[in-house]
Chains A and B, each alone.
Chain A
Amino acid sequence: MQKMPQWAEVVLVPLISLFLAAILSALVILGIGEDPIEAVNLMITGALGSTYGWGYTLYYATNFMFTGLAVAVAYHAGLFNIGGEGQATLGGLGVALVCLMLPWPHWSLALIAAILGSALFGAFWAMIPGYLQARRGSHIVITTIMFNFIAAALMNYVLVNMLRPAGSMDPATERFPEAVHLPSLHDVLAVFGINFSKAAPANVSLLIAMIACLLVWILIWRTRLGYEIRSFGKSESAARYAGIAPARITIITMLLSGALAGCMAINNVMGEAERLVLNAVEGAGFIGIAVALMGRSHPFGVFLAAILFGFLYQGGAELALWTSIPRELIVVIQALVILFTGALDNMVRAPLEKVFLAMRRAPKSERKTQAAE
Chain B
Amino acid sequence: MTFKQKFLGSAAALALSAGAALAEPALIFDLGGKFDKSFNEAAFNGATRWAEETGNNFREIELQSEAQREQALRRFAEAGNNPIVMAGFAFADALGQVAADYPDTRFTIIDMVVDAPNVRSVVFNEHEGSYLVGMMAAKASESGTVGFIGGMDIPLIRKFACGYAQGVKAVNPDATVVANMTGTTPAAWNDPVKGSELTKAQISQGADVVYAAAGGTGVGVLQTAADENILSIGVDSNQNYLHPGKVLTSMMKRVDNAVHQAFTDGAEMETGFQVMGLANGGVGYAMDEHNEALVSEDMKSAVDDAASKISSGEITVHDYMSDDSCPVLSF
Q: Which of B68-76, B226-234, B236-244 lies on the face that meets chain A?
A: B68-76
Given contacts A169-B155, A275-B93, A278-B186, contact A317 B7 (CB under 8 A): no
- Find B154's partner among A156, A169, A273 (CB 8 Å cutoff): A169
A223 to chain B, nearest CB (A): 36
Instruction: Judge whether A30 and B7 touch: CB under 8 Å.
Output: yes
Is A323 in contact with chain B by the CB < 8 A criterion? yes
Residue A56, interface by CB 8 Å: yes
- In this complex, what residue of A is CB-closest to B60? A324
In the complex, the answer to whether B185 meets A321 with C-beta atoms within 8 Å is no
Q: Mark B305-331, 1 if CB is under 8 A from A, else 0.
A: 000000000000000000010000000
Q: CB within 8 Å of A: which of B134-191?
A: 154-156, 184-186
Residue of B nearest to A46 (CB): B75
In the complex, the answer to whether A321 meets B66 with C-beta atoms within 8 Å is no
Chain B CB within 8 A of A237 CB:
no
Per-position contact with B for A175-200: 1 when CB-CB < 8 Å, else 0? 10000000000000000000000010
Pairwise interchain contact A30-B3, C-beta atoms closer than 8 A: yes
* B contact residues around A277 at 8 Å (CB): 66
A160 (CB) vs chain B CBs: closest residue: B184
The minimal Cβ–Cβ distance linking B69 to chain A, given in whole angstroms, is 10
Question: A33-41, A103-111, A138-146, A358-366: which lies at the B interface?
Answer: A33-41
CA distance A170 to B88 in the complex (A): 11
Q: Please name all residues of chain B whose beta carbon is closer than 8 Å to the beta carbon of A201 when the two chains form the complex.
A: 67
Give the CA-CA distance A280 to B65 in the complex, in Å.
Answer: 9
> Is B275 an interface residue, CB under 8 A from the partner?
no
**A170 neighbours in B (Cβ, 8 Å):** 89-90, 92-93
**B281 CB–A CB distance under 8 Å:** no
- Cβ contacts under 8 Å, B89 to chain A: 169-170
Known interface pairs A169-B154, A171-B184, A278-B186; A33-B9 also in contact (CB < 8 Å): yes
Q: Which of B67, B74, B112, B185 contacts A171 (CB under 8 A)?
A: B185
Contacts of B112 in A (CB 8 A): 169
Q: A35-B7, A38-B11, A170-B90 are in contact. Are A326 and B67 (CB under 8 A)?
A: no
Nearest CB on A from B214, distance (A): 15
Known: A30-B7, A34-B10, A35-B10. A320 touches B67 (CB 8 A): no
B64 an interface residue at 8 Å Cβ cutoff? yes
- Known contacts: A169-B89, A330-B64. The answer to whether A156 contacts B185 by CB under 8 A is yes
Contact of A317 with B71 in the complex, beta carbons under 8 Å: yes
- A18 CA to B248 CA in the complex, in Å? 54
B binding-site residues for A, Cβ under 8 Å? 3, 6-7, 9-11, 14, 33, 59, 61-68, 71-72, 74-76, 78, 89-90, 92-93, 101, 112, 154-156, 184-186, 324
Taking the nearest CB of chain B, how far is it from the CB of A64, in angstroms? 13
Give the shortest distance, in Å, between A27 (CB) and chain B (any CB): 10
Determine the chain A residues whose CB is within 8 A of the CB of B9 once the complex forms: 33
Asked whether any CB of chain B lies closer than 8 Å to the CB of A268, the reply is yes
Q: With CB as the reference atom, state the residue of chain B lying closest to A33.
A: B6
A327 at the interface (CB under 8 A from B): yes
**Interchain Cβ contacts under 8 Å between A and B, 8 examples:** A34-B10, A35-B7, A38-B14, A170-B93, A171-B186, A278-B185, A316-B64, A321-B61
- Residue of A at shortest CB range from B90? A170
Q: Of residues A199, A278, A326, which shows the largest number of chain B Cβ atoms within 10 Å of its Cβ?
A: A199
The answer to whether B10 and A317 have CB atoms under 8 Å apart is no
Q: List A contacts of B63 (CB < 8 A).
A: 327
Q: A35-B11, A320-B61, A330-B64 are in contact. Are A199 and B74 (CB under 8 A)?
A: yes
Using known A-B contacts A33-B9, A33-B10, A34-B10, determine if residue A321 contacts B72 with beta carbons closer than 8 Å: yes
Number of interface residues of A (CB under 8 A): 36
Q: A235 at interface (Cβ–Cβ under 8 A)?
A: no
Contact of B62 among A59, A316, A326 (CB under 8 A): A326
Cα–Cα distance between A89 and B1 once the two chains are bound (Å): 48
- CB contacts (< 8 Å) of B93 on chain A: these are 170, 172, 175, 275
Q: Is the CB of A273 within 8 A of B66?
A: yes
Interface assignment of A272: CB less than 8 Å from any CB of chain B: yes
Would you call A45 an interface residue if the criterion is a C-beta within 8 Å of the partner chain's C-beta atoms? Answer: no
In the bound assembly, the distance between CA atoms of A38 and B17 in angstroms comes to: 13
The answer, yes or no, to whether A279 is at the interface (CB within 8 Å) is yes
* Residue numbers in B under 8 Å from A199 (CB-CB): 74, 78, 101
- Give 5 nearest A-B pairs by CB, closest first: A169-B154, A33-B6, A160-B184, A282-B65, A35-B11
Q: Report chain B residues within 8 Å CB of A278.
A: 185-186
**Quick check: A282 and B155 within 8 Å, CB to CB?**
no
B82 to chain A, nearest CB (A): 16
What is the minimal beta-carbon distance from B279 to any residue of chain A, in angstroms? 25
Shortest CB distance B120–A (Å): 19
Interface centre among B11, B59, B76 (most CB of A within 10 A): B11
CA of A258 to CA of B167 in the docked complex: distance in angstroms?
Answer: 53
Which residues from B are CB-within-8-Å of A160? 184-185
Looking at the assembled complex, report how far the CB atom of A370 sits from the nearest CB atom of chain B, in whole angstroms.
55
Question: Chain B contacts of A321 at CB under 8 A?
Answer: 59, 61, 72, 75-76
Give the distance to chain A from B12, nearest Cβ to Cβ, in Å: 10
Q: Report the minimal beta-carbon distance from B91 to chain A, rounded to whole angstroms.
A: 10
- In angstroms, Cα B10 to Cα A172, docked, is 41
CA distance A331 to B65 in the complex (A): 12
Interface-central residue, B3, B11, B64, B324, by most chain A CB under 10 Å: B64
Smallest CB gap from B9: residue in A: A33
Give A35 to B15 CA distance when docked, in angstroms: 11
Are A279 and B62 in contact, CB atoms less than 8 angstroms apart? Answer: no
Q: Give 1 or 0 for each of A304-334: 1 = CB within 8 Å of chain B CB.
A: 0000000000001100110100110011000
Contact partners of A167 in chain B: CB under 8 A: 155, 324
Nearest residue (CB) in B for A334 is: B64
User: Least Cβ distance of A39 to chain B in Å?
Assistant: 10
Chain A residues near B324 (CB, 8 Å)? 167
Query: Is there an interface contact between A35 and B14, defined as CB atoms closer than 8 Å?
Result: yes
The answer for the CA separation of A201 and B66 in the assembled complex, in Å, is: 13
Contact B66 A156 (CB under 8 A): no
B29 nearest CB across to chain A (Å): 10
